[in-house]
Amino acid sequence: MRERSGRGAMTRAVSTTLLVVACLASVEACSRTSIAPLAAYGVPLGALSIAVGQELQLTMRTIGPGEYVSPPTLAGSAIVFLDLSLPPAQVPAGVTQLFRFKGVAPGQAIIRFHNTGVHPDVTDTVVVH
């Protein structure tokens, strides 16, 4: 009889330990999830706001000649430029470009996109929190 209760206690201890390990693994996985990127199209009406570690994707389009120069000019150290790509969905009238940035420190940064054609330069303000 005693042997059975000893095994039962051991089984409960192993089950409890496995449950605690599973809970800790779940909490650890949740704390490592990345923040979804912020995607913006067109001209924003105010400053864009992202978190430290969050990606910012800005889609720029032109109609007619010209494109936006890569890398864009950055004022401030709150963000870094990651890369430029050309999305598969292009408009026949001009080029579509996807610029990616990442928030690396709290603060503010200004992005200036210079156009090689007849289009004016575009300036965006990014606040990183």
SS3 assignment for 66-124: CCECCCCEEECCCEEEEEEECCCCCECCECEEEEEEEECCCEEEEEEECECCCCCCEEE
Residues 54-70, mean pLDDT to the nearest whole number:
93
123 vs 120: CA distance, rounded Å: 10
Are residues 82 and 98 in contact, defined by beta-carbon separation less than 8 angstroms?
A: no
pLDDT at res. 24: 30
Label the pairing between strands 48-50 and 122-128.
parallel
Residues 83-96, mean pLDDT to the nearest whole number:
92
pLDDT at res. 68: 95
Give the confidence band of 35 by pLDDT, cuts at 50, 70, 90. Answer: confident
Q: Which residues contact 118 (CB under 8 A, 6 or more apart)?
A: 64, 65, 66
79 vs 111: CA distance, rounded Å: 9
Are residues 38 and 48 in contact, defined by beta-carbon separation less than 8 angstroms?
A: yes
Give the confidence band of 114 by pLDDT, cuts at 50, 70, 90. Answer: very high
CATH of domain 38-128: 2.60.40.2020
Residues 29-56, mean pLDDT to the nearest whole number:
73
pLDDT at res. 48: 92
pLDDT at res. 37: 77
Q: Residue 81: pLDDT above 60?
A: yes
Domain boundaries, the chain: 1-33, 38-128
